[in-house]
Amino acid sequence: MRRILTWLAAAVMVVAANVVAAPSASAATYTPPALRQRVDLNSGWRFNKGDVAGAEATTFNDSAWQQLSVPHTWNALDGADGGNNYYRGVGWYRRHYTVPAAFAGKMLFLQFAGANQVADVWVNGTYLGKHSGGYSRFRFGATSALKVGQDNVIAVKVNNANNADIAPLSADYSFDGGIYRNVSLQVVDPLAVRMLDSAGPGVYLRQRSVTAASATVDVTTKLFNNNASSRSVVVRTVITDATGTVVADQSLPARTVAANAGVDVVSSVTIANPHRWDGLADPYLYNANVEIRSSGVVTDVVTEPLGLRTFSVDPNTGFSLNGHPYDLHGVNLHQDRAGVGWAVNDAQHTADFDLIQEIGATTIRMAHYQHDQKDYNLADERGLVVWAEIPLVNDTTNSAAFTANARQQLIELIRQNYNHPSIVFWGIGNEQRVDNTATNTLLDSLAGLVDTEDPDRVSVYASCCVSDTGAVNNHAEASGYNKYFGWYNGSYNDLGGNLDSLHAANPSRRIALSEYGAGASTVQHALNPSPPSPGGQNHPEEYQALLHEASWKQLDARQYIWGTYVWNMFDFASDGRNEGGQPGINDKGLVTRDRVTRKDAFYFYKANWAATPTLYITSRRWASRTTAATELKVYSNAGTVTATLNGVSLGSRTSTDHIFKWTGVTLRAGANTVQVTATVNGTPVTDTVTWTLS
């Protein structure tokens, strides 16, 4: 791995190598002073779909516009007809805000957690700037434009039309437009941690070494003095454990920071006997608190999560966490949800993670773009290893502008998420459809940028639709492959052999299966169905389950595969599709888009991955039958399952693959009650379904 860190090489850098040992049980606790203020600006907006000349002007009459709150997307209900009504264009947002008198003398920044995909922002008719890229956070300095104690008009023009200079150009998902994440006003002292470092936190925690005995962390603080005169500044770093107890406390010598200037300062702190962040088993988090002091007064504090861990990826033995093998099996995640599209609130993000945790996943690929901070926070807290990536999907434009935008989005992804311990992989792209010089030049540039911004994590690229041994796979440090055997090509039994051939051809390549799966409708059913047409209207739920059964058995047997990611955790909007009886939907999810129904395949993985007692009768939604002959199939993590049909015993079955089958089952006319029982780790479990034969 290349070891360059140019963005941390600042105009001035001070390094302190003294260490502070972990304190005794009687050590002091620390609560960071609440100096920064965040004002929620989500409510009180007016919205107009379509362009409006002069909408940024303070005097513009917007009384006829729709009243709403953000997060919001104008595409939440579009695409139900397969995309014919899917609007991609301009939308305007405006709101009034009175700045409290208490904010006088403070620095004011408007922050947008996400707006797709080009956002222009005005305050009182003053243009603050443009942000190009639909998935990353952005901030604009608004101190001079906002009038303290007065009414202010904030206007935002958002455009989600196709733009040849901005990634992604195309993808198999809908590109919702609007201010679809939170908006806030950030209020800080003129002497503070830098706010405009690609909207990053301004404090960056680099784990230099982590062992059972000690952990050394370089804490880079980017300072900025917005005062009209120089300031003498002391930077203090306080590391606290989960109870708030101080485990390291270090103050650097005072230094002078010139007026309207910034410097970068690095502290090196050591924590004795660190409690490590260890995935699902123990996602332990410290806090790193950085104080800015001048003349004995604390002017700013930034607190960032610190999860101490080591990891490695081996081409033969796969992934390791903290020196022990750690199986990465999980799902891909889109931010889309029925009824709201991309405008997902915090409670809905949490509900998604509840389902991901229920299934027993250890990892998430947050496809195909930067996700909301809530997702990364939840991954930190719950111990899920994350593959984060930029929206370089399918196609590129061979231009300096497109390259600059892709690099900008990668810098934003890394800096805004640098401190999340859950993130191990930075994805530089997905499924480039051509393997030419322009594509490879761009991918090489992005892989180098990962090494520059974060030399300690692993760059990765997800390949499909060109040669597996082509040049596009040679830039990132690890490779993912999107393989849809049994759906778009071949048989689902071909997966393992294909991966073996790939591994044999290049034994030093570190391989993951970044996507695999099949579509499924919860209202379409068949007994042992043949492979359906991917673009057709019939996607039986049972076929998806068969494909995942076969795929997982092959993946579980191959240790060299460092990670596996089902496509997808949830059905999601894709306005260009019309298949499986659901126009505008990609139905490969293990759970329906409304999060109401867990499909059969969900329970297959839960039986394999989760420790919670699982007992599930498949084909349960196939409640109305016309054929008496059927089979009973059950997923469970029990050793033995016993079944009855209409109170009559069908006997017991054992299994080594969590699949239990009773063949030759005959239903009677009318209602049939099927019941299964088992004991998992001493806990008795039961499941029952009713199938009616007409």
Catalytic residue among 56, 304, 412, 431: 431
Q: Which of 105, 110, 102 is nearest to 153 (CA)?
A: 110
Cα-flanking dihedrals φ and ψ of residue 182, to 5°? -70, 150
What are 48's two structure tokens?
């107009």
What are 479's two structure tokens?
């490779």
Question: Do the beta carbons of residue 561 and residue 513 sit within 8 Å?
Answer: yes
Question: Do the beta carbons of residue 465 and residue 431 sit within 8 Å?
Answer: yes
Percent helix, strand and coil across the chain, each to the nearest 5? 15, 40, 45
What are 683's two structure tokens?
């806990």
What are 270's two structure tokens?
């050591």
Place of tokens 């926070």: 377
Q: Give the separation between CA 147 and CA 219, rounded to whole angstroms.
A: 36
b/e string for 628-645 if b means 16 or more Cβ within 10 A?
A: eebebbbbbbbeebbbeb
Question: Do the beta carbons of residue 506 and residue 565 sit within 8 Å?
Answer: no
- Give start and end residues of each alpha helix (H) in 418-511: 437-453, 495-505
Q: Cβ-count burial of 526 within 10 angstroms (0-12 exposed, 13-18 middle, 19+ buried)?
A: middle
One-letter amino acid of 569: M
Question: Do the beta carbons of residue 94 and residue 62 sit within 8 Å?
Answer: yes
Count of residues in the chain: 694
3-state secondary structure (DSSP) of residue 609: helix
Q: Give the separation between CA 655 and CA 3, rounded to whole angstroms.
A: 49
What are 581's two structure tokens?
């009886």
What are 304's two structure tokens?
């960032």
b/e string for 333-355 if b means 16 or more Cβ within 10 A?
A: bbbbbbebbbbbbeebbeebbeb
Catalytic residue check, 431? yes
Q: Give the separation between CA 386 and CA 328, rounded to whole angstroms.
A: 10
The set of catalytic residues is: 431
